Amino acid sequence: MGLHGSFRFLPSCRIQQKIVEKLFDTMAQTAYIVEIWRGDRVSEKSDFGRFGKAFQESLCQLILLDRPFSDQISEVLDLNFLELRYLQVFVKRVFDYRQEYGVHPTPKIMITILRTELDNENEAVKKQVRDYFTRIFNVEIEGAEYIKDTALDFCRKQKLKEAMLRSVSLLQTASFDEISKEINDALKLGASSDFGYDYLKDFERRFEIKSRNPVSTGWKNIDSLCKGGLGRGELGVVIAPTGAGKSMVLVHLGTQAILAGKTVVHYTLELSDTVIGTRYDSCITGVPLNDVFSFKDNIYEKVSALEGSLIIKEYPTKSVSTNAIKMHLEKLKNRGIQPDLVIVDYADLLRPISVLREKRHELETIYEQLRATAQELKCPIWTASQTNRGGLNAEVITMESISEAFNKCFVSDFIFSVSRTADDKLTNSGRMFIAKNRNGPDGIIYPVFMDTSNVKIKVLQSISREEMELSMKSQAESLKEKYQKFRKKGKD
């Protein structure tokens, strides 16, 4: 009897007989391949040994930290795939907790589990498991997506092999549908199951302390408002009219990050990279901009001792979109440069990815894309925006003065404006208005000291609107009094 002899076809199904026979011929070839696998299984190790220890340790860390991935790989992972005993024990404790309580364990819960539930293991394994967990606690995983994809691909292939081996013994006894189900079930295992935040399974995540890893602004009173600075994945915007010092403020923010040992990537679409670099020289060292060439050696000595680093990338105005910035950042990451802060000077000068009928809609999409980039990179992004003509001589600039697209405020996490009248520029003064703050109070006015000759910016004690109006009234009366004295003197 041939391979198809045990299957009988009803007259109504004879049209499909040839197609099914071809399928069985294919399965017969598959059976031959399976026999080769059976006879040559030693040639390909059925564990993660060939990927190395670091790969396996990172994989187990992901199983703990990434609940959707843990759901996915738990369907196809055989603990024996892990070459190291202490990793098998670690992952088993994670899966046992999920099975018993129906929720995914947090790192804090794992501390308790590893202290109390390793009694059945020998002392060497206990020590290895605990040492491993200590090593990975609060450590970033490099190449997480590659590790997840590679591990899932390996595990799913192993499950498919097992299903094909079982299908060989079914060829002579089971129906086509049973064999098909065996293979299809294996193909479904390990498929993506990330349907979002699971209210029950992710219960513990709601009670974890979220780490924003904020980057300081260098102004203590501003940091106190936004819980330490701009956090990872957040977008901050500086609003100011032309000539008020937007680029100076962005350089100040970048400088504070560098002084804190951070890596800053500064994109400039208006000024040249060397001009921006000179401003950083002045801001870091305190040497006036007009004197930097005279103090070249002193500046080099100071900047070469910095723990932080700076990369300045110049693009022509309106020549690149947010996609080009993302590609450049990816290249830096491939070279081992991980940015802690990104500065875009400034977003209004980026080219939109798609051309829309109205400029305001294009600007909205640019800010949305920048916010998305910050979330993907898990680092803060500072940028700036121009005010409309109404903000040129305003004492305080509110969000209503934002040029073109008011909706770009919606996606931003922290917005402050800088206003400087002609008189303010003569006295190195101005005002900062906290327009939006997702992490604290807003609507606060701060007087600022701003010396653009050496990029020195200080935020002073906050004042109320009443105090500011009184100060403005006092200044106006003083000027009026001086004018009257001047006129009287002229008449005399």
DSSP readout, 301-346? HHHTT-SSEEEEEE--TTS--HHHHHHHHHHHHHTT---SEEEEET
Pairing of strands 445-451, 341-345: unpaired
Instruction: For residue 9, give every residue at least 6 positions away whose Cβ sits within 8 Å of its Cβ, in sequence order, or none.
Output: 16, 17, 20
Find the mean pLDDT for residues 363-382: 91
pLDDT at 43: 42
pLDDT at 397: 79
Of 133-137, 354-358, 404-408, least confident by mean pLDDT is 404-408
pLDDT at 114: 92
Using DSSP, state whether 221 is helix, strand or coil.
helix
Residue position matching structure tokens 């520029």: 425
Find the mean pLDDT for residues 255-265: 96
306 φψ region: left (φ > 0), alpha (ψ -120 to 50), beta (else): beta
Q: List the structure tokens of 307.
A: 């723990």
Of 197-211, 240-254, 423-437, 439-453, least confident by mean pLDDT is 197-211
Contact 223, 217 (CB under 8 A): yes
Closest CA to 58 of 185, 151, 160, 165: 151
* Distances, alpha carbon 280 to alpha carbons 184, 210, 237, 285, 338, in Å: 61, 32, 20, 8, 20
Find the mean pLDDT for residues 53-80: 91
Q: Per the omega criterion (within 30 degrees of 0), is the bond before 446 cis?
A: no
Of 170-184, 202-216, 301-315, 383-397, least confident by mean pLDDT is 170-184
Of 82-96, 103-117, 191-205, least confident by mean pLDDT is 191-205
Q: List the structure tokens of 309.
A: 């680093």
Of 423-427, 455-459, 477-481, least confident by mean pLDDT is 477-481
Residue 10 has pLDDT above 50, yes or no: no
What's the pLDDT tens digit per position in 106-158?
888 999 999 999 988 999 999 999 999 999 887 888 888 899 999 988 988 88
What's the mean per-residue pLDDT of the chain?
82
Residue 445 has pLDDT above 50, yes or no: yes
Higher-confidence residue of 42 and 14: namely 14
d(CA 186, CA 190): 9
**Residue 417, phi then psi, degrees to nearest 5:** -110, 155
Q: List the structure tokens of 76.
A: 């196809």
Find the mean pLDDT for residues 229-241: 93
- What is the amino acid identity at position 52? G
Residue 2 has pLDDT above 70, yes or no: no
Higher-confidence residue of 305 and 175: namely 305
To the question of pTM greater than 0.85 for the whole model, the response is no
Residue 334 has pLDDT above 80, yes or no: yes
Find the mean pLDDT for residues 339-347: 94
Find the mean pLDDT for residues 81-94: 94
pLDDT at 41: 46
Chain Cα centroid distance, residue 131: 29
pLDDT at 36: 45
- What is the amino acid identity at position 75? E
Residue 161 has pLDDT above 60, yes or no: yes
Residue 309 has pLDDT above 90, yes or no: yes
Contact 239, 385 (CB under 8 A): yes
β-partners of residue 234 are: none
**Residue 422, phi then psi, degrees to nearest 5:** -60, -40
d(CA 148, CA 144): 6
Most confident of 38-42, 134-138, 316-320, 409-413: 316-320
DSSP H or E run through 263? strand 263-268
What's the pLDDT tens digit per position in 268-294?
999 999 999 999 999 999 999 999 999
pLDDT at 94: 93
**Residue 313, phi then psi, degrees to nearest 5:** -120, 120
Residue 29 has pLDDT above 80, yes or no: no
Closest CA to 165 of 286, 341, 36, 301: 36
β-partners of residue 448 are: 430, 459
pLDDT at 42: 39
Residue 8 has pLDDT above 50, yes or no: no
β-partners of residue 310 are: 264
Q: List the structure tokens of 168.
A: 């060989």
Confidence of residue 469 (pLDDT cuts 50, 70, 90): low
Give just the sign of the alpha carbon dihedral 345, 349, 355, 361: positive
Confidence of residue 336 (pLDDT cuts 50, 70, 90): confident
* Distances, alpha carbon 168 to alpha carbons 38, 173, 178, in Å: 12, 10, 12
